[in-house]
A and B are shown apart, each in its own frame.
Chain A
């Protein structure tokens, strides 16, 4: 099963807290009036310039094990090694907001409108995260619709560069998935172009498979402090 999905930017536009969360601002802190106005403009610009498109494909668990192995640079043990053998369905995905939004951010910086450019960048980062959740839900819907997973199953995305999966793991992922079809390319340094892009795997199974209980060495070096909380609320078709 392989699908390309294009969605309206409106469905992934972040709210004010979502944007400001990407600027290091404390959650629910009240921004100055000027900042609040700019956030609104940034979200409006994002709606105009984002072209969200994703591709996902189901792959066999044995194949996923090879993709995950990457170039042998993963931190081991890592949480994904523990989760994926318990997954019932496995997919790969790549998504992007497209080049136009990145060009707009660049143009704003060039014309001296850097506060707005920065907030558009933060809004786009937040939207990319929201888009990932949409893609995960689409994948889950697709496997459930064809009876390959029970409707009470849950899904979560895992990306190279996180959870001990080395960022160079993207090379194998790209070889297998081929997201050139939706305009994403992977550079020599494993940077995706366009910048507002995400690559990863989707693992489907009972909610408990996503829970990260052990303390892994890769967690100590990671700047993402929300992953355990995220693991507690995987994407589900039915509210639990």
Chain B
């Protein structure tokens, strides 16, 4: 249907006003909210993700698409109240203790939300215990940690250790990322995964949740 294609294409052009306007138009035309979500917004975001992966577009384009997606989702939310917004799982994220840099972590949060995850953002300078307590309290499937400097990376190992100590290893997965972090480091500290950028973080979290 044209309206759904237009919604998807408004994400590809990163036009949030058009995404909102076309979402309203689709609803007014009698398209079910769930269909608008799955075949308009989600489909558009998938196309954007594929182009990003193919290096045809870059992070700013993806962020504009995510903003357009959120504009549409906000309209659908109250209408999906009965069946509930579909969630792919809850993820607790934060920048680790001693680190105040949160742009990378914020970008991961934005794209996770855009991909349908529930995100509990603990902010920055987050002590290890808070990550684990929040994951337990919220019933989160994944803890995501970000760091900017090598000096704050040991805090990631402490979170991974605490998850194990509290016997949560089976239900709560851990993923790490940030400029100085690497897949080798993630393996070394026993984290379940590593994300090299925000889009990759979404893929990795999806894989962790599916395990």
Contacts and interface: CB of A to CB of B under 8 A. Distances in A.
Given A105-B103, A115-B60, A187-B100, A167 B15 contact: no
A239 interface: no
B70 A191 contact: no
Interface residues of B, number: 30
Nearest to B180: A223
Interface string A5-46: 000000000000000100111100101101100110000000
A119 B60 contact: yes
Contacts of A31: 58, 60-61
B58 A191 contact: no
Interface in A71-109: 105-106, 109
Contact of B151 (A23, A25, A167): A167
Given A191-B100, A193-B100, A35 B149 contact: no
Contacts of B35: none
B32 interface: no
A112 B149 contact: no
Contacts, number: 87
B151 A118 contact: no
Contact of B67 (A105, A106, A115, A190): A115
A178 B162 CA distance: 38
Interface string B63-77: 110110010000000
Across the A-B interface, the 5 shortest Cβ-Cβ residue pairs: A189-B98, A115-B63, A189-B151, A25-B58, A35-B60
Given A38-B60, A109-B103, A114-B67, 9 more contacts: A29-B58, A39-B60, A112-B70, A115-B14, A118-B107, A167-B149, A189-B149, A191-B152, A223-B179
16 contacts: A24-B197, A25-B58, A32-B13, A32-B61, A34-B13, A35-B58, A106-B102, A115-B63, A117-B106, A187-B98, A188-B98, A189-B151, A189-B152, A191-B151, A191-B152, A195-B101
Interface of B: 13-15, 55, 57-61, 63-64, 66-67, 70, 98-103, 106-107, 110, 148-152, 179, 197
Interface of A: 20, 23-26, 29, 31-32, 34-35, 38-39, 105-106, 109, 112-115, 117-119, 121, 161, 167-168, 187-191, 193, 195, 223
